[in-house]
């Protein structure tokens, strides 16, 4: 799935149900990569350089928002790494909360050789994972994951937020 198609789909939603945050520059992305000590996949970097996260109804995609820790990638990464009861692994970057303490995460350890994409996994906050029992793979790429998320939302609501 192409980033431009995903962005156009998000832009169809009314501002009353969807908040799109303005894109960020390469320096801010590099700053995040330095802080987490992992390179981000190109498709994710491309997305946040155009739309730096969003809120669509109750669904949130974190972005780089140092002034708003509740939707900031790094703040949520640090909280999940250092303060949660079930600390997330260093190579998992939480990108979408499920509202129950769990997160969909970029699995930065699975980034492909072209550095284009990586798996998106589901980290359950109250489950003890092991190297033999890893978090479930939700998607093989960020774009695919977001597209599936938008399709699920679109099954129940119209672009203006009314029920279908």
- Position 81 in a domain: yes
Domain count, the chain: 1
Concatenated DSSP letters for 79-145? IIIIISSSPPPTTEEEEEE-SSS-EEEEEGGG--TTSS--EEEEE-TT----SSSPPEEEESSHHHH
pLDDT value at residue 1: 82
CATH of the domain at 110: 3.40.1580.10
- Position 56 in a domain: yes
Contact 89, 80 (CB under 8 A): no
pLDDT value at residue 153: 94
pLDDT value at residue 27: 97
pLDDT value at residue 17: 95
- Position 51 in a domain: yes
* CA separation for the pair 118, 125 (Å, rounded): 21
- Position 164 in a domain: no
- Each residue's pLDDT tens digit, 103-120: 999 999 999 999 999 999
pLDDT value at residue 128: 92
- Position 147 in a domain: yes
- Position 76 in a domain: yes
pLDDT value at residue 86: 85
Percent of the chain residues past pLDDT 70, beyond the cut: 100
Percent of the chain residues past pLDDT 90, beyond the cut: 96
Reading the block at residue 160, the tokens are 């203006």
- Position 10 in a domain: yes
- Position 91 in a domain: yes
- Each residue's pLDDT tens digit, 30-86: 999 999 999 999 999 999 999 999 999 999 999 999 999 999 999 999 999 999 888
The range of the structural domain enclosing residue 41 comes to: 3-154
């Amino acid at each position: 799935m192409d980033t431009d198609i995903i962005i156009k789909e998000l832009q169809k939603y009314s501002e009353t149900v969807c908040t799109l945050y303005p894109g960020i520059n390469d320096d801010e992305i590099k700053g995040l990569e330095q802080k987490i000590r992992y390179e981000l996949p190109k498709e994710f970097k491309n997305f946040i350089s155009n739309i730096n996260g969003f809120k669509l109804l109750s669904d949130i995609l974190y972005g780089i928002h140092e002034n708003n820790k509740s939707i900031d990638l790094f703040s949520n990464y640090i909280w999940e790494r250092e303060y949660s009861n079930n600390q997330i692994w260093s190579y998992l970057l939480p990108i979408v909360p499920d509202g129950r303490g769990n997160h969909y995460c970029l699995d930065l350890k699975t980034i492909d050789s072209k550095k284009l994409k990586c798996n998106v996994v589901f980290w359950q906050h109250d489950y003890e994972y092991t190297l033999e029992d890893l978090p479930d793979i939700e998607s093989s790429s960020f774009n695919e994951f977001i597209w599936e998320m938008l399709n699920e939302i679109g099954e129940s609501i119209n672009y203006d937020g009314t029920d279908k």
